[in-house]
Chain A
Amino acid sequence: MFNRRNMLLWGAASVVLCGVCAGVPARADDAVKIGLILPMTGGQASTGKQIDNAIKLYMQQKGDTVAGKKIEIILKDDAAVPDNTKRLAQELIVNDKVNFIAGFGVTPAALAAAPLATQAKIPEVVMAAGTSIITERSPYIVRTSFTLAQSSTIIGDWAVKNGIKKVATLTSDYAPGNDALTFFKQHFTAGGGEIVEEVKVPLANPDFAPFLQRMKDSKPDAMFVFVPAGQGGNFMKQYAERGLDKSGIKVIGPGDVMDDDLLNNMGDAALGAVTAHLYSAAHPSQMNKDFVAAYKKAFGNRPGFMAVSGYDGIHLIYEALKKTNGATDGDKLIEAMKGMKWESPRGPISIDPETRDIVQNIYIRKVEKVDGELYNVEFATFEAVKDSGKTKK
C-alpha cells in the first residue's frame, strides 16, 4: 500500500520536475506504462494479490528496464466490479496514457475493458479471467491464464478413458460453472460416459448438505465439481463428512477447486481428488522449484495458478517489447506476441497466433501429501492444449 502511494508520489513529483526543467509536456518517452487492473479487495482479492505479487517478483528478478525503457506499473483496484474496471481502464488510457492494460480478475471485467482496448489500439493482457469468448471481443486481447474449456474437456476425456462411466455433476450456477459443465458433458458423453445427476447450486450457497446427499443417493462412479475457489474447502469437508469418500465416489473437476492457494487448509478431506489444470506448485521442473521458492521467500505463501498467469503475463509484455525494440505501437506489440513460445513455471506454453489465446499443457493431478503438506501431484499430461471453446475457428 505505502509503497504504491510512495511510488505514485515520486512519479508525480518527478513528472512535475521534468516538466519544469525541460519546459516540455511531461510525458517521458523512455517509460512504458502498464495499467494493471485487479481485484485487490472483495471476494476475488486473492486473485489480485497473487498476480500483483508475481509481477513484483518478476520485476525484482529481471529488472525494471526492457529495451532501454523503464517499466512502470500503475495498479488499480476494481474489486471485480465491471463498471469500475471500465472506468479505471478509461482513466488509465486517457489520463495516464498507459501502453498496456493488464490483469482482469473475472470475465465481466475483461469484457468491460475490451472495447476500450480496441479503440485505443493498445494490448489488453488477460491474466486471470477464464471464459472462452474473451479473446474474441477485441483483436488487442491476449491471454496468459487459461480457459475453462481447456481443463474441463481434458478431465472429461480422462474420465472416460479411466473407467469412470457414471458421473453426477455439481456446479455453481454462474457463467464459469456453466462453461465447465457444458464442456465436460460434451467430451464425457461423446466418449460414452453417462451423466446420472446434474445439480446446479446457487453461487451464494451456504450449505452443500442436501446437494451432496442427492449426489450420494444417485450412486455415481465420480462427481464432477466446479465451485468458486473459496467454496472448495467447505465442499470437500462436507464431502468427507457425508462419507462420500468412503463410498468410493471420486471427486473430479477442473483444477480451480483445488487451487494451491487454499489446498493446504482444506485438510485431509481433499486427498485423492483428481483434477485437470494448467499449474501445480508441485510441478517437477527446476524452473518451477525456483519460482515457488522465490515466491514463498518473498510473500510467505505458495503461488497458485493465478500467480503463474501473472508471472507469464508480465513476461509476455517484456518479451514483446524486446521484439519491437521498445516500440509501443499496439499493433506491432500484438504481432510480436502472436506465436510467442516460452518455458513457464507451469511448463512449455505459447500464444496461439490465430486466437491470441494461450496454448499450454493440461496436467491431470491427484491431491497427495508431500512433506506433510497437501499438493496436487501431476501424473498425466495432455500436451499443447488449445482452447476448444471458441465459437469460430
Chain B
Amino acid sequence: MASILTNLFDGVAYGMLLFVLACGLAVTLGLMNFVNLAHGAFAMAGGYICAVLVNNSGWPFFAALPLAFVGSAVIGIALERTLYRHLYSRSHLDQVLFSIGLVFMSVAAVDYIMGSSRVFIKLPAALEGQIDLFGVGIGRYRLMIVVICGLLTLALQLILAKTRFGSRLRAAVDDPRAAIGLGINVPQVFAFTFAFGCGLAGLGGALSAEILGLDPYFPLKFMIYFLIVVTVGGSSSITGPFLASLLLGIADVAGKYYVPKVGPFVIYTVMIVILLWRPNGLFGRTAAR
C-alpha cells in the first residue's frame, strides 16, 4: 500500500515537472500556432543559469530559481524579436527547420562553453532525503516540485481566465485581425507570451536538473516528451497539457515499477491509445485555422 502511494506521488511530481517544461510549448504551438522544437533549449538555458549561479557564484538555490526563469525569458524575448517573429507567417516546415537548427546550435554552444559532462546543482540540505508521512515515503525535493508547479498552474489558469492580459491573448489567438482592429497590440501580446513560455521552460529546466539530469543534449533528449505532452493534452488550453502531463507521469512511473521489462514503452502506449480515441488530444479543438 505504502509503495503504491509513494509511486503515485513520484508520478505526480514527474508529471508536474513535465508540465512546467512543456506548457510553454503548448502555448506557442497551441495558442500561437508556431512549431517551436527549440523549446527544450530554453529549458536547458534555465538549468545552466541556475547551475552556474548556485555552483560557481554561491547563490542560494531558491534565489537562483527565479533568475533561471527571468534569464530564459530574456533570451526568449531577444530571439523572438530578432528571429522568431519573421517566421510566424511561414509554413510549418520552415518553422520546424528553423527551430531544429536552433536546437543543434544551442547544443554545440553549450557543449563548447560548459563542457559535455553532466552538471549537478548543489541543493540545500533541507531538500535532500525523504520524509515519512503515515508510512509513505515522500521525497522532499519532489514535494517542492509539486508545490511550486501546483501554484504555477493555478496562477496560469487565473491569468488566462481572469485578467485583461488573458482575455487579450485569447482574443489575439482566436482572430488576430479583429483583435488588432480593437486596438490590441497583437505582436506585443505574442512576444510577451512567448517570453513567458520560455521562462517557464527555464524554471522547469532548473528544477529538472536534479531528476532528469542536465547536459548539452537536454533539448534533444526531452523534445519527444514535450511533444507527447502537447499532442496528448491537445493544445487549446493549459488544462489539457496539465492533465496529460499528470497522466503520463503516473503511467510512466507505474509502468516502470510494476512491469519493468516493458516499462519504458508504457508512456508511448498510453499516447497511442489516447490519440486513437481522440485524435486531437484530450482537450483538442478541431482544425486550429
Contact = CB atoms under 8 A, between A and B. Distances in A.
Contacts of A214: 256-257, 260
How many A residues touch the partner, as a band?
20 to 34
B283 interface: no
A42 B14 contact: no
Interface in B183-241: 210-213, 215, 217, 221-222, 225
B111 interface: yes
Contact of A211 (B3, B128, B215, B256): B256
Interface stretch (B89-97, B116-124, B147-155): B116-124
B263 A210 contact: yes
Interface string B239-268: 000000000000011111100110110000
How many B residues touch the partner, as a band?
35 or more
Contacts of A41: 108, 111, 116
Contacts of A96: none
Interface in A182-207: 199-202, 204-207
A243 B137 CA distance: 9
B65 to A, nearest CB: 18
Contacts of B221: 204, 206
B111 A237 contact: no
B141 interface: yes
B263 A230 contact: no
Given A210-B253, A213-B3, A213-B257, A46 B117 contact: yes
B172 to A, nearest CB: 35
B99 interface: no
Interface stretch (A103-111, A262-270, A278-286): A262-270
Contact of B260 (A45, A211, A262): A211
B222 A206 contact: yes
A93 to B, nearest CB: 28
A210 B256 contact: yes
A91 interface: no
B120 A240 contact: no
Nearest to A46: B117
B263 A267 contact: no
Nearest to A265: B120
A175 B76 CA distance: 40
Contacts of A217: 3
Contacts of B6: 213
A209 interface: yes
A242 B215 CA distance: 23
A202 B6 CA distance: 22
B118 A230 contact: yes
Contacts of A45: 111, 115-117
A210 B257 contact: yes
B10 A243 contact: no
Interface in A236-280: 237-238, 240-243, 261-262, 265-267
Contacts of A262: 117-118
Given A204-B221, A217-B3, A209 B10 contact: yes
B128 A241 contact: yes
A206 B212 contact: yes
A120 to B, nearest CB: 31
A233 interface: yes
Contacts of B222: 206
A388 interface: no
B130 interface: yes
Nearest to B10: A209
B139 interface: yes
Contacts of A242: 130, 137, 139
Interface string B1-40: 0010011001000100000000000000000000000000
Given A238-B211, A267-B122, A210 B7 contact: yes
Interface in A88-127: none
A53 interface: no
Contacts of B129: 240-241, 243
The 3 A-B residue pairs with the shortest CB-CB distance, nearest first, are A210-B256, A210-B257, A45-B116
Interface of A: 41-43, 45-46, 199-202, 204-207, 209-211, 213-214, 217, 230-231, 233-234, 237-238, 240-243, 261-262, 265-267
8 contacts: A41-B108, A42-B116, A45-B116, A207-B211, A209-B253, A210-B263, A234-B120, A238-B211
Given A45-B111, A210-B252, A243-B137, 17 more contacts: A41-B108, A45-B117, A46-B115, A46-B116, A199-B260, A206-B221, A206-B225, A207-B211, A209-B211, A210-B257, A214-B260, A231-B118, A233-B213, A237-B210, A238-B211, A241-B129, A243-B130
